[in-house]
Amino acid sequence: MSANGKGQLRVVVLGAAGTIAPAILEDLAASDEVVSVLALDLDGERAAAAATAHGGEKAAARAADARAGLAEQLAGHDVLINTASYRVNLDAMEACLAASCDYIDLGGLYHVTMEQLELNDRFEHAGRLALLGMGSSPGKTNLMAARAVAELGAVDSIDIVAGGRDFNPPGSFSPPYAVQTLIDEVTLKPVVLRDGRPTEIKPLTSGGTVDFGDPIGSAETIYTLHSELVSFGKSFDCAECSFRLSLSPTIEKRLRELAQGGLEDIARAQREAAPPSDETVSIHLIEARGGGRAVRVRSVTNPHVPFRLGGSVVSTAAPAVAAVRLLARGRIDAIGAQFPERCIAPEDLFAEVATRSCEISVQVEELAA
C-alpha cells in the first residue's frame, strides 16, 4: 500500500544503531498503523541489538549501506525514516525513488537540504513524498512556527531556540546526538535571514542568554547552522530569522576541543560516546513578532516512561513517527520534496506528540506602540 493512503505501513529505519533510533523503534512498535519495521545500519549486529531491545515483535534487522544496495533493502516497504548522518540523505532519497518508497529524514543541516530540494520533480513524478526535516528541530519547530504565524497573520521575525539537558549524565562524554553533526554545527558558518536575505555569520557567535523556563532556566546560547532557515523565509514571508542552540557547558566545552582536533579525534569520540541517560529534557522555543504582537510557542519534552528513554531522544523521534501515523491515516497527502509546515497541520502533529510526553504551549503578547 502507498504511504500516502490509509492502512498499515511497512517501515524501514536507517541508522538503527544511532542515538535517536531506540526511540523511533519503540514508537513504531507502539503504533497500530505500523505492521512491520526493518532496522538497517552499517553495523548489522548493533542494528539487531537495537531491534531486539526496542522494536518488539514487529522488528527485524539487517546490515545496510546507504550508498550501496539500499534500494534492494527497501523493496516492498512503504516509507523510510532516515536517522543516519545527513551526509547520506541524497543517497537515501535516490534509493527511495528506485524502490518507490516514501522518505522522511531528521534534517540536512541547511546545505544538504538545499540539494535535496533538487529531487522534488522526480518525487512528484513518482507520486512519492520526501519529507525534509521531521525531527524536533527541524520538524516540530516548523509546525510550532506555523502555529505562531497563525496568531500573527503577518510576521516580521521568527527566532528558533533549542536547549536540552541531561539531569543524570554519565561520567563520560555523552552528546545529545551524532558527534559529527554537532561538530558541524559549531564549526560551519550559521545562516540567518536579514532583510529577507540569507546571511552567513561567524561560527560560535553568542546568541545571548535565553530563559527556557523550568527545568532548564536561563542559559547561554550560540547561533548554529540549521535547516529551518532554508524554508522559513518563503513559508512564512518573514524577513528576519535565526536559530540558536544551548548545550550544557560540559558538552559545549568538549565540542570546542574536538573542533580543534583531527578527524580521528572526532571518530574516536563518536565511538566512545556514552548514550544520554533516561532523564534528559528537551525544550524548543519559537519567538515570532509581527503586526504589533509577539507569540511564544514553547515545547517541553520530558522523559517518556513507557519507552524508558529521555526527552532529548524522544523529542526528535516522536515527530518522525507521528508523520508515519499521519501518512497511514491519509492526513498527509502531499508528494514531492516538502517541508513539514507546507503539508502537515500543526494541530495534527501536536496531538500526536502530546502522547509522547511533549507539552506545547502558546503565549500571545500585545506590544507597546
pLDDT computed for residue 28 by the predictor:
98
Chain center to CA of 278: 19
Q: Which residue has the cell 546490515?
A: 63
Cβ proximity of 329 and 6 under 8 Å: yes
Q: How confident is the model at residue 4 (pLDDT cuts 50, 70, 90)?
A: very low
The whole-angstrom separation of Cα 175 and Cα 178 is 7
Q: Tell me the Ramachandran region of residue 263: left when phi exceeds 0, alpha when psi lies from -120 to 50, beta otherwise.
A: alpha
Residues 6 or more apart whose Cβ sits within 8 Å of residue 214: none
Q: How confident is the model at residue 7 (pLDDT cuts 50, 70, 90)?
A: confident
pLDDT, mean of residues 112-139: 98
Q: In what order do the strands lie in the sheet with 336-338?
A: 59-63, 34-41, 9-14, 79-82, 102-105, 129-131, 336-338
Q: Tell me the Ramachandran region of residue 275: left when phi exceeds 0, alpha when psi lies from -120 to 50, beta otherwise.
A: beta
The whole-angstrom separation of Cα 49 and Cα 275 is 15
pLDDT, mean of residues 55-70: 96
The total number of residues written for the chain in this structure: 369
For 205-242, the pLDDT digits (tens) are 999 999 999 999 999 999 999 999 999 999 999 999 99
The whole-angstrom separation of Cα 78 and Cα 104 is 11
pLDDT computed for residue 12 by the predictor:
98
Cell, residue 239: 524577513
List phi, psi (to 5°) of 41. Answer: -165, 155
pLDDT, mean of residues 187-200: 97
Q: What is the pTM of this model?
A: 0.95
pLDDT, mean of residues 87-109: 98
Residues 6 or more apart whose Cβ sits within 8 Å of residue 191: 110, 198, 199, 200, 201, 225, 229
pLDDT computed for residue 54 by the predictor:
97
Cβ proximity of 56 and 78 under 8 Å: no
Identity of the residue numbered 46 = R
The whole-angstrom separation of Cα 232 and Cα 160 is 11
pLDDT, mean of residues 7-18: 94
Identity of the residue numbered 26 = E
Share of the chain above pLDDT 90, in %: 89
Q: How confident is the model at residue 2 (pLDDT cuts 50, 70, 90)?
A: very low
Give the start-to-end residue ranges of the domains of the chain. Answer: 9-136+315-349, 140-311+357-366
pLDDT computed for residue 5 by the predictor:
53
Cβ proximity of 318 and 358 under 8 Å: yes
pLDDT computed for residue 196 by the predictor:
95
Cβ proximity of 328 and 8 under 8 Å: yes
pLDDT, mean of residues 306-321: 97
Chain center to CA of 45: 25
CA angle 154, 157, 162 (to 5 degrees): 125
CA angle 133, 134, 135 (to 5 degrees): 100
Q: How far apart are the first and last CA of the chain?
A: 55
Q: What is the DSSP string of 25-79?
A: HHHHHT-TTEEEEEEEESSHHHHHHHHHHHSGGGEEEEE-BTTBSHHHHHTT-SE
Q: How many CB atoms lie within 10 A of CB 301?
A: 28
CATH class of 9-136+315-349: alpha beta
190 has pLDDT over 60: yes
Strand 240-246 with 129-131, pairing: unpaired
The whole-angstrom separation of Cα 199 and Cα 310 is 35
pLDDT, mean of residues 47-67: 96
The whole-angstrom separation of Cα 90 and Cα 67 is 9
For 253-290, the pLDDT digits (tens) are 999 999 888 888 888 998 888 999 999 999 999 999 99
Q: Which fold has domain 140-311+357-366?
A: Dihydrodipicolinate Reductase; domain 2 (3.30.360)
- What is the gyration radius of the CA atoms in the chain, in angstroms? 19
Cell, residue 59: 522488528
